[in-house]
Amino acid sequence: MKVAVVQFPGSNCDYDAVHVLKDIIKVDTELVWHKEFDNSDYDAAVLPGGFSYGDYLRAGVIAAYSPAMKSVKEMAEEGKPVLGICNGFQILVESGLLPGALLRNSCLKFVCKWVTMRVESTSSAFTSKYRKGSTVRMPIAHNEGRYFVEDEVLEGLRDEDQILLRYVGENPNGSLDDIAGICNAERNVVGLMPHPERASEKILGGDDGRTMFESMLEWVK
């Protein structure tokens, strides 16, 4: 198995993702510049957090038109796992691979803290090894993480079991329905606001995020 971590101008969690995949999960992983990304060599892709293109127009919108996203869409259509973390989630939404929008936090401030979430679905490429209903802790770090979608689409996400994670106890950004992560109808494309790569080693404060990457391995196998 071979995984690509796609690097955009302004990515800043790219090396974190590479470290977890290569050194912790022990999977062949390459950091690939977005203009050089070709999906034919990879079995999965991760779009890391950061500030792609400085978030100058709208978080993730410029990166959504990067040459890399054509290959990412092809991977998604082929059923390969695609994970967007934080800014990567914003890119997936802006490119149309996931529904909805990510708006500015309701507190109008950048929020960086550990949060508790409940696992709502284990049917996706990145949540299959969790136990449904269990709680997990991971850090968030974003200014535009408030998930919003039209009512009829929200009902569809609920009915089709596409809501993966919900905030518990505290909603740190005002997301609709406490949503912290979703997947597409085919279950292989996942977008998250929390950072699993920052919660994959106990020395960092917890390793609940590691299960996301282990789930990816199981899905591909």
Residue 182, strand partner residues: 163, 191
Residue-wise DSSP of 147-209: EE--HHHHHHHHHTT-EEEEE-S--SS--GGGEEEEE-TTS-EEEESS-GGGGSBGGGTB-TT
CA distance 6 to 36: 9
Closest by Cα among 42, 62, 40, 39 to 50 = 62
The pLDDT-based confidence of 107 (bands split at 50, 70, 90) is very high
**Residue closest to 48 by CA, chosen among 65, 36, 38, 60:** 60
* Alpha-carbon distances, residue 53 vs 112, 124, 133 (angstroms): 21, 29, 37
Q: Which residues are known to be catalytic?
A: 86, 195, 197
The pLDDT of residue 39: 87
Give domain limits for the chain: 2-220
Could you tell me if residue 206 is left (phi over 0), alpha (psi between -120 and 50 degrees) or otherwise beta?
left
Strands (E), 8-142: 28-33, 44-47, 82-85, 101-103, 111-119, 135-142
Q: What kind of fold does domain 2-220 have according to CATH?
A: Rossmann fold (3.40.50)
Tens of pLDDT, residues 28-75: 999 999 999 988 899 999 999 999 999 998 999 999 999 999 999 999
Could you read off the pLDDT of 157-178 as tens digits, one per residue? Answer: 999 999 999 999 999 999 999 9
CB atoms within 10 A of CB 170: 10
Q: Nearest to residue 67, comparing CAs of 7, 1, 3? A: 7
Say if pTM beats, i.e. exceeds, 0.95. Answer: yes
Residue 198 contacts residue 192 (beta carbons within 8 Å): no
The count of other CB atoms within 10 Å of the CB of residue 9 is: 15
